[in-house]
Homo-oligomer: A and B are copies of this chain.
Amino acid sequence: MAAKDNVKLIGLSMSPFVARPRIVLKLKGIEFEFLQEQFGKKSELLLKSNPVYKKVPVLIHEGKPICESLIIVEYIDEVWTNSGFSILPSDPYDRAIARFWGGYIDDKILPQVRPFLEDSDESSKAEAKEQLLATMKQLEEAFEQCSKGKSFFGGDNIGYVDIALGSHVGWIKAFEKIAGSKFLDETKTPLLTRWAACFLSADSVKGVIPEADELVEFAKTIAAARRHSSPPS
């Protein structure tokens, strides 16, 4: 199938955004070549494939590049329709709701965790903690709305919002260690806590989301690189 599919993914295994297409490709049983970038460097292929943002992930399908993780997820869902797994719901209203929460996750989580990856002052970090917790509580409500009592945002199976948020679970657990504060626990976010355990144990997810300790170490590399490249604030 590999030759027929002719799929390559430019990525970095530590990136939550790269985890998204990796999980969907596994879910749909699509073989692909994973072209790993090195942190802090950008390959010629990446620069040529995503000249606008110069960022991973980029999916290359039959020689044509597709950029932006959630756009790649939709593309895979639209091209490989015979896998038995549909990532987006079939009903237009449910699709709109899924896209809404996908957008919300991208809008909120990265800006809120950034202070933990930078040499930010304590008040910025405290504010970021509060904001991230508020986001998780909002997503707890979203889970209730989307899952309708089932295991995943997508119902019985992993869907679009599961992938959008689930890709961040490793990093959220890493930030819990870095910030010394819980964002996923039985008291504040009981539904999401159970959902996260369920998501991480799915066959298509295993081996894709790094362990929290590994990400804590990687966070130090990111912080050091930022210190090196930015003027002191």
Contact = CB atoms under 8 A, between A and B. Distances in A.
Interface of A: 52, 61, 64, 66-68, 71-72, 74-75, 78-79, 92-93, 95-96, 99-100, 103-104, 138
A204 to B, nearest CB: 21
Given A52-B104, A52-B138, A104-B52, A95 B78 contact: yes
B71 A99 contact: yes
Contact of A92 (B68, B78, B95, B104): B78
Given A52-B138, A71-B103, A103-B71, A64 B93 contact: yes
Question: Which label, helix, strand, loop or mixed, suits the secondary structure of the A interface?
Answer: helix
A99 B75 CA distance: 10
A79 B64 contact: no
A191 B101 CA distance: 35
A152 to B, nearest CB: 21
10 contacts: A52-B104, A61-B93, A68-B103, A71-B100, A71-B103, A74-B95, A75-B92, A78-B92, A78-B95, A79-B92
Contacts of A138: 52
Contacts of A96: 66, 71-72, 74-75
A175 to B, nearest CB: 22
Contacts of A100: 52, 66-68, 71
Q: Which one of A61, A74, A93 has the highest number of Cβ atoms from chain B below 10 Å of its Cβ?
A: A93
A65 to B, nearest CB: 9
Q: Which one of A95, A100, A138 has the highest number of Cβ atoms from chain B below 10 Å of its Cβ?
A: A100
A18 B90 CA distance: 26
